[in-house]
Structure formats: C-alpha cells, structure tokens
Structure 1
Amino acid sequence: MTFKRKSFLILFFVSSMAILSQGIAKVDPFEVTLRKKSKEYKNEVNFVKAFLFYNQKKWDSTLIYSMKQLSANKNRELANYCRFFRGKSFLNLDLFKQAKRELHLVSKDFEFYLLANNHLGKVLIESREFKEALSIFKEIESLGDNVPSYIDKCLLYSDIGTCYLFLNDFDNSEKYFLTAIKLAEKGNDDKVLMSLYQNIANVYYEQYKDNKAIPYFEKAYQLSKRVDDFSCKEFSAKNMAVVEQNRNNFEKALEYRKEYDQWKDSLNNQNKIWETAQIEKKFAIKQKQKEVNLLATENKLREAERNSLLFSSGLLLVILGAGFYFYRQKVKSNKIILEQKMILDDLNATKDKLFSIVSHDLRSSVNALKTSNSKLQTSLSSKNYEALDVQLNTNNAIANGAYNLLDNLLNWALLQTQQSFFYQESAHLQSIVKQVVFNYEPLMLNKGISFQSNVAAPIFVFVDTDSFKIILRNLLDNAIKFCSENGNISVYTRPSDDHFCYLVVEDSGLGMTETKRQELLAPTVLLSKKGKEEGVGTGLGMQLCKSLIDKNGGTFAIETKLNQGTKMIIGLPLAIKL
C-alpha cells in the first residue's frame, strides 16, 4: 500500500497546478482595473508594455519591462503593480524562490494586496511550505462575505484543502474540498471540477477509504474526456490504472495504462512543439537582452557624464565657498587685530601717562619734603617751636600722600597683572568702616573736619575685605583732600529693597562739574589730573576703586554739584543668610 499512497500524492500535486493554471486564465476585476491603470499611466511606456505582455501571458517579456519600470520610476502604486507582475510571472515559470521574494515586496497599501497574498500562498504550496501557506489562506477566508470578488472562493477552499492534506489533517481537508466541489458544480468549468474530484479521491485514498475514493476517480476520468488538456487526460487514465490494479482487475488496468501511454505520447509531441517555441522565445529574449544591455551601457555613460558635471559643479561651489569663508575670516581677523592694536595703543598711552604723573608726583613730594626739612633744620637752630610744629605737620602730610600714591600704584599693578589675592566672604560692614576711619581721624582732626558715621549695625556684605578697605581708604582720602577747612564728612548707608546695600561717603567740599563727574565714571583706563590749590592728583586711586568695585560685583555712582559737595555711592551685594 506504500506504492499506492505515494503514486496518488504525486498525482494530487500536479492536479493542484491544474487548478492554479485555471485560476490564472480567468478574467476578473483585477484585469479591468489594470486596463484603466494602463490608460491612466499611458506615458509610462515600460509599465504599459509590462501590462500588455502580462495580459498575453508572455512572462519573460513581462519580467524585463516591469524591471525597467522599477528602475526608471519610483511611483509607489506602479511599483506594487510591477512587483505583482513579476511575482506571478516567476510563479508561472516555476521560479518559486524569486516569486516569493517579489510578492513579499508588495506593500500593504496596494489596492490588490489580498490578491498578491493569495498568490503568495500558492507559491508557498509549490515550495511545500504548507503551514505558512495555510496561515495566509485562513486570513483571507476569515473575511467571510468581505472576501473580494477577484478572489475565487472555490479555488481558495481548494488551496486550504491542499494544505490540510499535506499536513495530514484529513478531516479538514475533506471538509474544504467538498465545499469547493459544491461551488464548482454550480459552474461549468470541467477542468477545475475534475481536479477537485481527484483531490477529494486522494484524501479518501490516503485513509484507505477506497469505497469513497473510487467513485470520485471515476468522475474525474469521465470529465477528462471533455477537457482538451492532454496532461489532465494522461493523469486521469493513470489514476484509473492504479485503482484497477489495486482492485486486481489487471485487464482493465492494462486498458487504462495503454490509454495513459497514448495521451503521454500526444503530450510529448505537444511538448516538442512547445520546446521549439521556447527556443525561439529564448532567442528573441537574448536579442532583446542585447538591446537592453546596450541601452544600459548608454545610460551608464550619460549618468557618468552627468555625475562628472555635478561633481565639478559641486567642487567649484566648495572652492568658492571656502574662498569666501577664508576672505571673511581674514577680514574678521584684521578687524580684531586693529581693535587689539587700538587697545594696546591706549594701554601704552596709559602706561606712559601713569609713569609721567607718578614720577612727577613722587618728585614733587620728595622735593617738598626736602624743602620742608631745610626749614625744619632752620627752625631747630633758631628754636622756633611754633614754626617747627607747622613743618612737622607738613612733612607728615607729604609723607602720607607719597605713601598713599605708592600703595595705590602697587595695588593697581597687582590688579592689572592678576596677582592680587581675592576672596569674597560675608563681612560686617560697620566694623570695616570703623577700622578704616580710625586711621584717618588724626588727619580730619588736624584739618578741623567734623566726621559722622551712620552705618547700620546688622548689615553684612559679600566682599573681599582687603580690596573693600582699599576702596574705602581712597574715598576717605579724596574726601579729606577736597574738603575745606572745618568742613563735614559723613559715611552712612541708604535703605534698599533689592539685594544690594548702598554705602555713601559724603563731603562738603567744592564738588565738581558734570563734565568732570562723567569723566570719572567713564569706563576708561586713561588717567586724568585733577586741579586743586594744594596740589595735583594722579586719578589712579579712582581708577583703582572702580576696578575693585567691579570685581566685587558692586556698583559705583557719584552725586555732586559745583560748590555743594560730593557723594560717592558704592553698591555692594548683601551676604545671603543660610
């Protein structure tokens, strides 16, 4: 019985191909849509040719022009149609691996995606991937009444039955084949019905249900007489020969075997004719392929020329862009160099002026001290104690001025070379003011100046203590220097709503003009002399104050009017209480 089962399974597989071929020959809505698309895209010559050859079942030509269309145009809709053409062409040429690849490339938004999937299932059957094929067919069947009209339900049920048979699920296979037979019997397609009779007969024969199988084999044999396909007649006669042989009716089996040989010879003759046609077709394809290769070579040459032109143009643009960029960079660099040169010129001018003023002030101070000492010696010799007291006070004032000048010069130099130690911390404002004022009380007393301090006790500022003392010393020194005899100096804080504390150093001196006030506040490194009856100042102390205030994150302002005194106002950041 092993021989019997093997023989009929082979015959069943061939009869499945007969159903496939019949399905291909059937006209359906897909072909109607294809005709509309060929008119809609009439300018796409390769697509139109691929459609015409597909309609004529010239599969090799279909493959050539569908590939040309895919190479020449990226239209998604046309690409899906061409992938379908190629998948079906490969299927009919028994190139199942290639057919499977092309049908997998059809996207899900394709209008006839279900049809492409249905053909993919047929490819999987031919590749003996029955589980995968069954999954595809069952998904289509699950649509029920929504299965599109371009999918033949009779062939769909037949394909599902085929998968179940090769998976040895005979119950389901029988169920789907019988359903397909009922649909086929309503039509007039003898070839499809004959193939289905053979399929259901094989289902029964595989289960050794000969009493059910033989009537279907006989029905298939009777229908084969009405079919023009020699292969169907051949396999129907062979099936009956095997059946009669297994029933030990050797005489009848011999008759069927002779009939089988007769149809086989006719089929061979037909195959020879077909082979001759195939040779002619292959020759024609080779000729066309030569033309295609020639066109491809010409296209490559054109593409190479175009790419060369594009590359040259791109390179020229890059060179021009690089030239423009470097030109801009050069202009920018020259501008920066010019600005730096101007700054250096200003710094050199400042340096020269600084040395000139400082050397002049130091020379004046030393000369004044020398003259005063001569007078001091004279007063000592004559024992003129009143003059001696005056000369000592003068010497003290000259020494203090020279000391302050040198101290400011040292601090300014350290600040400019970034060598000064700087550390901001929380500091008690009132205590720092008291420490600085203490050193200046003798000077104010000697000049008869009345001093008053109203710094609020609870204020803590966030400053570098040493630099803040330098600022305060310079402001007090200026206030004493420019305050008249028996004048007033006061240091106090102003209330503020923000995060700053404002410390005011006010004197009742001569004040200054608006021009002088603007000059002192200007952010410049140049120094300026300040005229006064008692001497000349360098302005170095004010420049030092502004730099140190800025470094502490503070602000500086001046309120003054000529002959109405001056207010120097320092804004200091308050310390944050944690």
Structure 2
Amino acid sequence: MTKVLKISLFIYLAWAGHTLWANSWPVLDSLNNAFHNATTDSGRIAVLFNVLESLNYDNVDTSLLISEKLEELAQRQSDTVSLIKIASQIARLNLVQGGYREALKSDQQVYTYAAAINDTKNAAEALNRMGEAYLGLGLFNDAYINYQAAIEKSEEIHDSLMIAIATYNLGRLFKATDQWTEALRYIRRSMALSEQIDDKLGEAYSLHDLSEIYLEQGDTSKMLESLQTALSVAEEADDNIIKPQILTKTAEFYCIKNELLRALDHYNMAFNIYKNQSNITAMASVNLGRAKIAMRSGQNQKARNYYEGALEVAKTYTDVKLLMNAYDGLATFYERQGDFRQSLDLFRKSQFIEDSMRLTNRNEAFANTQMEYQMAKKDRAIQALNQQEQERQLQLKNEEFLRNVLVIILAFVGLLLITLYTNNVKRRHANQILVKHQKEIEDKSHQLEKLLSMKDKFFSIVSHDLRSPINALTGLLDMLDKDNLTHEELVNVTKPLKKRLSSTSKMLDNLLDWAMMEMDEIKIHEQAISLIEVVQENFAFFHESNQKNIQFLHNLPDDIMLSGDKNMLDLIIRNLISNAIKFSVEGGEIRIDADNADEKMVTISIQDNGVGMNKDQLDRLFDSKILYTTRGTANERGTGLGLKLCKEFVEKMGGKIWVESKEGMGSTFKFTVKRSDLPDEGGEMDDILPGI
C-alpha cells in the first residue's frame, strides 16, 4: 500500500468516526485502533467493512467515500470476493440516494465478477438491484427483464428470500404502470413467501405497497391498518429504507383525512431520515407533500418555495416523475393564486412529460411485441433444426456399428503406439543414466589424476625440501661427533643451518595446515585480535631471518581490532610477508597498511616493490586446482601452498583476498577481515620497527 493511500484511508476513517462521535465513539475508537494496527491490505479491508456496518445508512456520503477506498484496496489485491461485496454496497448506497445510473454501473460490475466465479447468489442480487435502478429511471421493460432473471437465478439455488424480494419488486413495477390487479397478485404472493420464511421486513415492504393499492381502491381503513403494521415492523427491525416511505404514505393518509398537523409530523420524520441518507430526490418528494399542507394552511410563500425547490432537484437529477409532480403542484398553486396563464403553462409541461412517458411505454410495448415476434420466429427455426437433427441422428445410428469397429481398431493401434513410446522413453532414460554415470566416472577420474599429481608434488616437496636440511644437520652432527670443527667454524655453519631449519619448520606448518584443510579439520576460534600486535610479531621475526636487508614499514593505527582466528590471521600475514620477501630485491621495502573506513570489514594490504607479475601469473595465482610456484629473486624455491592457505583461511573468516600487480613495479596483496567491537587493549607502536 502506498503512503498516499494510507493517509487517505486514515482521513476517511477519522471522518467516519467524527460523524458518529456522539453515539458510537467506543465502537469506532476500537475500529480505528484495529485499522492502524493492521499490517496487510486484507486486514485493513476487514476493518473498513466493520466501519461501514457501524455507519449503516445513517451517513450515506461517508459510506460511499469509504466504499470507494475499499474498492481501490480490493483491486490492488485482485480480491474478487471483496470486490463483489464492495460494489454491491456502493450500488445499495447509490439506490438510497437516488443515483440510479451509478447503481446500475456498480451492479453490472457485480454481475460480471459473480458470473466469473459462478456466484449465483450475488448474481441474483445484482439483477434484482438493476431492476430497481431501471424502475427508478422509468425503464419498465428493462426492470421487468431483470426482476424475472433474478427470480430464475434464485430458483436455481433455492434462495427463498431473494425470490420473495424479486416477486415484491415485480408487484411494485406493475403498481408503477397502474396495473393494480397484477400488482396486488404479486405483492400478496411476496407477502406469503415472506411469512413462510419468517421475513418480517419483507412483510413490512409488502404491507406498505398494499396500502397504496387499498388507497387506489378507496379502502382507507385497510390502508391505515397496513401502514401502522408496516411501521411497527420497520421500527423493530431498525430499517431506515422502508421506514421513511411508510411515514410519507401515512402522511398522505392524514392529508386525505384533513388531519394536517399529523400529516406534517409524519412528513417531517420522513424528511429527517432522507436528509441523514443524503437522498436529495426523496427529500424533494417529501417537500411536495409539505407544500400541499402549507398551501391548504394558507402559507403560500412556503408552499411556493417547497414546489420550486422540488422542481430544481427534479431538473438537476433528471427525475421525470418528480418533475411531473412538481409541475402539477405549481400549476395548482398558481391556479389558486388566480394566475391562470402561469398555471396553464405549468400544466402543459406536466402533460407533455406524461404524454412522453406514455409514448415511451407505448414504444416499449411495441418493442416487446417485436421481440415476441422475433422469439416466435426463432422458436420455429429451432423446431425445424430439431427435426433435421432427429433425421441426422437416425442416419448416424446406421453408421454406429462401423464407427464402433473403427474405434476399437484405433484403440488397439493407440495402445500399441503407447507401448512402443513407453519402451522408447525407458530406453532413452536408461541411456541418459548411463551417459550421466559415464560422465561422473570421467569427472572423478580427472579429480583423481589431479589428486595424484598433487600427491606426487607433495612427496617431491617433502623428499627434497626436508632431505637437504636434515642431511646438512646429519653431516654437522657427524663432524661434531668426530670433533673436526673449531668454535668459529661451528658458529659460521650453525647460523645458516638455523635459518634453513626455520624455513623448513615454516614449510612443515604450511603442509600440516594444508593437510588439515583438505580433510576439513580446521575450525575457526573467533576472538578479538589486535592487528598491530600480529604485524609487530611477524616484522620482528622476518627482520631477524631475512637475508635481503629488507625494510619493513607500516602506518597502522593502534586501535584497529579484528574479529577472527588469531592463528589463521598470523599464518596469512606471515605467508604474504614471506612471499613479498621472496620476490623483493636486495634492500627492498615491504609496507603494511589498513583501510578501516568500512563499518564491518577492515582491508589489510601488504605491498612490495619487487619484480611484480604478468597477467598469466595473476590468473594462475589463486587457482585452487593447481599448486603454482616460481623461484624468487635469490633463486628461492616455494611449495605453492602459502597463497592457497591464505585464500582458504581468509574466506573461512568471512573475507576475500586479491592481488594488484604490474610486472617490474611490485605487487600489493589485499584481504579483508571482520572488524571487532571490542576496544583495543594493546600499547602504542612505532611507525618503523627499531633497528630496521
């Protein structure tokens, strides 16, 4: 959900809460909290549905605004069920306000959604509401078609309530077209259905419409009895849809009885309900009744204001029936005022509208006749086609035996083909498995060859690099045993031998680490490490052991603390310094720096100004499949294990390693290590070690 949509929804929710502050604050406060706490669009949709239920039809404008926002949320989720529910609510709200065209648009969407998911119940309800909208627009033929379709859909799912409602609406339709006998028949049928399913509200609607029929028949006592019963049921059900209609009809009854104060009270109650619903056309219709009472009470200006206000509403909302009644009322008003010309003009306008409606009804009747003719024509065509179909079926029966034989033959051939295909698939699958196994064997063979090659190199290293210092040590011991060396000769021989043994020890450490790494036996013991201490120890060691008079430099802050395995870090730095010495010339320079700009990782660089490397050497340097080594500037030999171990250990500690080099310009090895949050406990260190 976007931020703008969230804010909009909060505003509309707050508006709804403010509208009902006085009566429903605890409920809306709870709903408002639930809306803010909802973490998904589905949760917000559920909360806003609860808000609509709280509002009911007491504030139609606010309900419509919330429904529109609900529709946006449901469309974002492609939630068809919620879209049906929301569009149905929008249609109902528009019907209450007299927005028949808007209601039609919403219900057409409902019908489309419902048909897509085979929701017959909502499809039937949409058809019924479309009938109401067409009835409100005066399109009686369309209203009749939709009501009948609603009944048919409801019968499919045995929905007795919707059958009763659509039947009642058909009675209203016949009443609107002055077909009183048909109207009475349908409304009584609807009332009987409502009694069977204990639908009290349905009984109230039927009683209201029966009162109009009784009025038409001149039976005012039955009219009043029906209205009083209907009002009692509507109040018990707290239904504000039929209640104002009953109040309006009761007011008309009291006008007939010349009880004007009672009539005005009922008109006022109906007007207030319509006002809360923002039903402008219904309010204008009530004002026509108020105008009659005002005119009979001698309040001519008030009567004129009511009539003219109703006329403006009728024109604005294109309500034909309201427009005709407003013209009739104004015509009567001006006639009583003695302005016969104005009265005649208004009466003609009313008659013109009535004639137009009759013409429309006549055109609809003609259209219905045409439709019936076309349907009859189609029925005859269908009968002819049915007869042809019967003849064709008879002919097909004669061919049935031959077709069955052909089907059996085809089935046998198909079974044979399926068997052949299955065998072929199995054979290809077996071949694929063999090819896969052969490839695996070849891959393992290549791996074995590489391992054997590595083993040969390993033993070559052990036999050569270990034999030389051991032979030298053995010879020295023989000479000492025979007492053939002077003290000065012993000192001169011991110093280089010690260096060779130190180098051999370092090589053995690398071999041991490499073997453990190959067996995946090395475990990381993570701890806080002072970088400067590790560098200082290695600089001190190589300062004593190197023969090339190398300068060791650093520019490290004292407070850099790393997180990792100290032994691994020491091995990485020792091997990289040893490698830098190997490829540095006499009097060269090796520098260690650290970049701690990153919040999580420290980048350590070891730079020399030696011979550098070409692109081919760089590409092979960290290749895990080979042990790559070259001789140093003093013809030093290597095993190729040092850099391999560096790469493995750096990656095990969560870092990465790389090299930057140009031939003849030296090399810079860089690797990253995690930063530690612990403070540095080490002391200060000089920029250049003493004595270097």
Q: TM-score scaled by structure 2?
A: 0.41
Structure number with greater CO (CA < 8 Å, separation at least 6) is 1
* Larger Rg, first or second structure (1 or 2): 1
TM-score normalised by the chain length of structure 1 = 0.48
